[in-house]
Amino acid sequence: MAMDPIEEPMDETRPWAEMTQTWKGTLSHYHRHCHGEHVEALVQETADAVAQRLRKHLSASPYWSEVSDARLVAVLLYLVDRGALRRVRTGNGIIFEAQPDAEDWARAQTGLKAKLGPILDLIAAVRASGSSHSQA
C-alpha cells in the first residue's frame, strides 16, 4: 500500500522509493525510475532546502516545529507533485515557490481537511522563504 505523506504515520526506515507511489502529477516520472539515486538526490535537495530556508519560517507552528524533516520533505514533495508548489533550481540550490492559487487548491482538497492548518502554514512558509530569498 502506498504511503500517504499527509496522514499516515511515517516509518523513517521505509525506502523513499515507496513514497513515489503516491505521486500522480509533476513528479510521477520518479515512480518509473529504475535508479533509486534519482529519488535520493531529489529528497536530499529538498532536505537541504528545508534545513536552509524553511525551518526558521516554520518554527512558530505547533505542528511543523514537532515534525521530522523526513515528514516535511514528504509533504513538500507531495505538494510539488500536485502542483501547489514548484521546485526551482537557482545558483544556490533548490527553492520552492507557491503557486498563486496554492491556498485555494489546498482548501478544495477534501483529503487535506484534517491537516489544512499545517498545510496552509507550510505554504505561507514557502512564500516567506521565497521573499526572504529574493531580498538576500
Residue 117: per-residue pLDDT: 93
Hey, what's the torsion of the CAs at 45, 46, 48, 54, to 10 degrees? 150
Are 93 and 45 contacting, i.e. CB atoms less than 8 angstroms apart? yes
Identify the residue with better confidence: 55 or 136: 55
Q: What pTM, to 2 d.p., does this model score?
A: 0.78
| pLDDT tens per residue across span 43-79 | 788 888 777 788 889 988 999 988 888 888 888 988 9
